[in-house]
Amino acid sequence: MNDYRASGSKDSAILGKDLAATVESRLDRRRFQDQHWNGTFWEYLDICAQNPGVVRNAYQRLYDAVMSHGNEKYKVFKKECVRYHFFADPFDNGADAIFGLDFALMQLVDFLRSAAEGYGTDKRILLLHGPVGSSKSTIARLLKKGVEAYSRTPEGALYSFSWLLDEHCEISPVGTNAREAAKSHAFDCPMHEEPLVLIPREARAEVLARLNGAYHPVHSNGKLKVAGEPDPFCRKIFEDLMRFYDGDWRKVMDHVRVRRIVLSEKDRVGIGTFQPKDEKNQDSTELTGDINYRKIAQYGSDSDPRAFNFDGELNIANRGICEFIEVLKLDVAFLYDLLGASQEHTIKPKKFAQTYIDEAIIGHTNEPEYKRLQSNEMMEAFRDRTIKIDVPYNIRLDDEIKIYQKDFGPERIRTIHVAPHTLEVAAMWAVLTRLDEPKKAGLTMMQKLKLYNGKNIPGFTEDSVRELKEEAPREGMNGISPRYIQDKISNTLVARQAIDDKAINPFMVLNELESGLSHHSLLSDENLKKHYRELLSVVKEEYEDIIKGEVQRAISADEDAIRRMCANYIENVRAYTQKERVKNKYTGRDEEPDDRLMRSIEEKIEIPDSRKDDFRQEIMNYIGALALDGKKFEYNTNARLYRALELKLFEDQRDTIKLKNLVSSVVDDETQKKIDVVKQRLIKNFGYNETSATDVLNYVASIFARGDSKGR
């Protein structure tokens, strides 16, 4: 028994060492040392000379943090758009990634650039405005995470300082003839200020001029500035030391220990967050700090800055960013503090002079609070100091789908099969609720959704789609929140049926979405609920068309048959366009091109008889263009023709498979084999599993059994 225990403890010791080694291998000691560098003020001046960018202000640093991750440009409806990779959340593996809000994010980055250049927006509060669940908080969280991560990089390094004094934070004479003061204890600057703020104003301009001469910004053209005076605590220490050393600034600076700082919301360094509480418990000292009553006895006065905690959110957010959650729910007294904080970059701690701050102030709010702000004449000063950026819901289907794939994709949901199109139909309905009814006659809501998603619809150009967007400027500011969709998908996943079947399908989610409308906490308008239910019917119809198309493709997925049909069609089209005859392979005679064959294919994609000549010439021109580029035409090269061939083959083969017989309880062996082939194609080509493929095949079979054989 003892031998067993000894053996066990040995094994545990070995495992413990292995675990420790694993931890050590993941840590970068050199990086830790770099991020915790400290040195003299003079060494810091050398750093500034080598890399003037360490002196950048909060907006310059925030803008550079965004731009450091790169971007890509693309066009949407002839309008240039930029996608910034920063908002894909590279800091946390995409946990807070933003999808589809590129236009709003472009406005945000333009605001940051203007502020970084010093064009005036640095004196404004950025107000993110939009409906609930539109990613306002996520954007603010990303900015905080991003600037924190940037401060850890060599490019984003920034520095603050500490004062070296005696243990009581006093200037105690030591040394020969008491010409030196004690330097035994370090007291950090409470607001993490830039060390160059300790250079007197009369000399600071010249120092900055020399640094700007050597400064070559990568992303903007803003100049380096160090404005304001030290905070009250540092100002008192500085003035006391100057008196002690009879104005010898160099000796005062010997009491300064410069240290690199890393912005951190958890450590309350350079990143602050303020959330409104009950109005009776709100206190503006939460923003600007409060008296430390325990230290009044030590320093003898409540106006001594050493007896004051400069730990309000605006204090600790200095050099970085301060987020105000639901900013318009703040008490008026708090908003007054924000007026000076934005315009003059100053705050007023209790019993102290105006104190300079350098930080980006970002708030977010919902529609009701913003409307109340607009109607309140007493809040004109606040309105004048804010720049509003609308953050709408997605109105592009593909982007909305990505939101749900992040939470319910195969990487996250492994025990339950999520049938194809389950997330798509939920996203489709969510987007439809956010769209305005199209004013153009004959255009349906579903067609409008598809146009916005980049799909081509005959009769609509990029210009006409842009007109659709311009006639509905508030699209995306109303409708169903992604949170509601996420909640209902979650409900479906934990429902008894899903657990028993280990699968969910689009109809289960659509039913859950519909049942939730009756007690939706944000929906009180019965007419709106009725409209949303009608849109669910629209989505169900579209889903039926989608799965009919997939079953059609699965049935007609005989590549050899399609290839033969395509070759036959192209041969007849070539002869037709060149006014030649076609040799019949069976009779050996030259015959006229088979117009019946060609029309049977063209009709599948709704090419009218009056346009058949144009379509055939278009196909031949397409083949010729490919040949000039050294490319070969294949049956699936042209998407429209490929779809027509699929539908034609489906029509030819449907009766041989006897799909309608699936709804019967008796299926002969030959039909069952063919059905199994189709099922395997659904699994292989479209992502179904055995259960969901069977369900879809049965459902589509029931549609055809009713005589509804309309193609997509």
CB contact at 8 A, 471 and 439: yes
How distant, in Å, are the alpha carbons of 454, 528, 619, 646, 708 from that of 542? 17, 21, 29, 19, 14
Task: Tell me the C-alpha to C-alpha distance, in Å, between residue 292 and each of 304, 349, 658.
Answer: 10, 13, 85
Phi, psi dihedrals of residue 585, rounded to the nearest 5°: -65, -25
Domain ranges for the chain, please list them.
2-28, 398-435+476-551, 556-649
For strands 321-324 and 360-365, give the pairing. parallel
Res 663: pLDDT: 47
pLDDT at 225 over 60: yes
Nearest to 624 by CA among 676, 574, 694: 574
Span 374-409, pLDDT tens digits: 888 778 888 889 999 999 999 999 999 999 999 998
Question: Roughly what angle, to the nearest 10 degrees, separates helices 559-577 and 612-628?
Answer: 100
Over residues 120-124, mean pLDDT: 93
Average pLDDT of the residues in 112-130: 94
The answer to whether 27 and 21 have CB atoms below 8 angstroms apart is no
Ranges of H-type helices in 556-712: 559-577, 595-602, 612-628, 639-657, 669-686, 690-705
Provide CB contacts within 8 A for 369, sequence distance 6+. 326, 328, 329
pLDDT at 697: 85
Cα 497 from chain centre: 33
Tell me what pLDDT residue 382 has. 87
Q: How many residues does the chain have?
A: 712
Element spanning 38, H or E: strand 38-40
The dihedrals phi and psi of 125, each to the nearest 5 degrees, come to -95, 130
Q: What pTM does this model have?
A: 0.85
- The pLDDT-based confidence of 331 (bands split at 50, 70, 90) is confident
How many separate helices (H) and strands (E) can be counted in the chain?
A: 29, 21
Tell me how far the alpha carbon of residue 199 is from its chain's centroid. 41
pLDDT of residue 657: 56
**Helix, strand, coil: what percent of the chain each, to 5?**
55, 10, 35
Residue 4 has pLDDT above 50, yes or no: no
Each residue's pLDDT tens digit, 129-164: 999 999 999 999 999 999 999 999 999 999 999 999
Q: How many Å apart are CA 511 and CA 596, to the nearest integer?
A: 45
386-390 and 360-365 strand pairing:
unpaired
Cα Dmax for the chain? 124
Q: What is the pLDDT of residues 539-577, one digit of tens each?
A: 999 999 999 888 878 877 777 788 888 888 998 999 999
Query: Is the separation of the CB atoms in 98 and 356 below 8 Å?
Result: no
Strand, helix or coil at 96? coil
DSSP 234-303: HHHHHHHHHHHTTT-HHHHHTTEEEEEE--BTTTTBSEEEE----GGG--THHHH-EE-HHHHHHHS-TT
